[in-house]
Structure 1
């Protein structure tokens, strides 16, 4: 009898240990969960302003970033804005609410001849495990900066898109390693990019990508993202259901 009691106590102890381990794992999981889903938006566009006034683009988006962070305290908005002589490339990492606000702002600019014309969404990555960019920064690029990487006319749009996205990832990793040189400034210093010219997408690539009809405008992306899928089934138009839809 005593032996049975010991066995029962052992089993009960083992179950308690497993339960406590389960709860510890669940607690760790809950602690590790992000407060909000993190998304990365990559957009290209054409500038409406002259080269001498390009800083107004950076100022506009800087005000937007500040507004978004004030609206949602604790939810950082990070990313990168590359301002070419005639085009722009924007990467933003933010919450779902902030993502929608940025898309709406880009739509408003397009509809009202704002600083960025013809914005097109290259990619939206949802529920990211971590950020690629630790801060919000921008960089004014001159003609020489935006032409260091050659773009072949024979390169397919799909390959060009893939190469551009890979360059953005490489540029993000490079900026992460140079964080100590950017602290305290929204503008990326020239010395930070001097040894990473091949990681900066050239302006010619942005110009060609803007011609891709498959890329959605912010307005079309918002409409597509929020519209339900309407797939009409035979069973919706015929009653009773068609014989081939019946489960036997």
Structure 2
């Protein structure tokens, strides 16, 4: 309950935040226009090293999901996302999509880097798959993390890797956690384990001579996020589903000063 001067402060804060958003939007448009006027020229050094000056506000989405038992050929998942990537490239010409899909024996880890529109399309596709139980390629998808405007991309292109049964079974980053059997790992700890492994993989890709992360994972299996960590995350109820994550974009913060109350149209939170 907020009354008196508290309600006035909230109203002023809301007005200020709207001004900031308008200012940011205006600056973003001006920045894009300056690039289109010739500011996006790249040097040969940038091209050779796979660097790019973004024409979008970059976002990074990390999702996980279980694989259905009836899925005999796991490459079907890779083919599905290759097709989706091709469709999104035609729809969003400037919104280059990069990332990595790692397909484990019983689950998957998918990292997608692109614009907000592309990431929302991937989430909607996950929801469409979930609503097709007879021929679903995955089950119980969950959003692990979404980064807004990261400093750089972890991957320079999109690719997928199908792991063997013995790959991803052990992760050096979780050995210390396994020793603490009495205390259950928090969701935050598990998410940080995933993020740390992906950052290490991205760092190795910058210095390695290999074009795709798949071959690097074969040579350096300790960079693979363990399937055990992903299984634990899939069992957590505090991670959002794609549907819940999409609902957040349609549920803005509403301030009601008439009754001196702050009403949020959705109480959903994200890690």
Give 1:82 shift.
0.4
- Residue 181 (structure 2) pairs with residue 155 (structure 1): no
- Residue 159 (structure 2) pairs with residue 137 (structure 1): yes
Q: Based on CA coordinates, which of the two structures has the bigger radius of gyration? A: 1
Give 1:226 shift.
2.4
Secondary structure of 1:147's counterpart equals coil
Report runs of 4+ in structure 1 exceeding 6 Å deviation. Answer: none
Aligned position for 1:199: 223
Instruction: Encode CA deviations 1:116-135: one digit per residue, 9 max, x unaligned.
Output: 21110010001223211101
Aligned position for 2:211: 182
Aligned counterpart in structure 2 of residue 116 of structure 1, from 133, 138, 147: 138
- Residue 66 (structure 2) pairs with residue 36 (structure 1): no
Give 1:166 shift.
0.7
Aligned partners of 1:160, 1:203: CA distance in 2, in Å? 12
Contact 1:134 / 1:176 at 8 angstroms: preserved in 2?
no
Moved more, 223-232 or 89-98: 223-232
Aligned partners of 1:138, 1:50: CA distance in 2, in Å? 20
Aligned position for 1:83: 103
Contact 2:71 / 2:137 at 8 angstroms: preserved in 1?
no
Aligned position for 2:22: none
Aligned partners of 2:66, 2:117: CA distance in 1, in Å? 25
Aligned partners of 2:169, 2:89: CA distance in 1, in Å? 34
Q: Cα 1:146–1:38, aligned 2, differ >3 Å: closer, same or farther?
A: same
- In structure 2, stretches of 5+ residues that fail to align are 1-30, 41-52, 261-271
Contact 2:95 / 2:118 at 8 angstroms: preserved in 1?
no
Give 1:193 shift.
1.9
What is the 5 A alignment of 1:200-219? 200-219=224-243
Alignment RMSD: 2.4
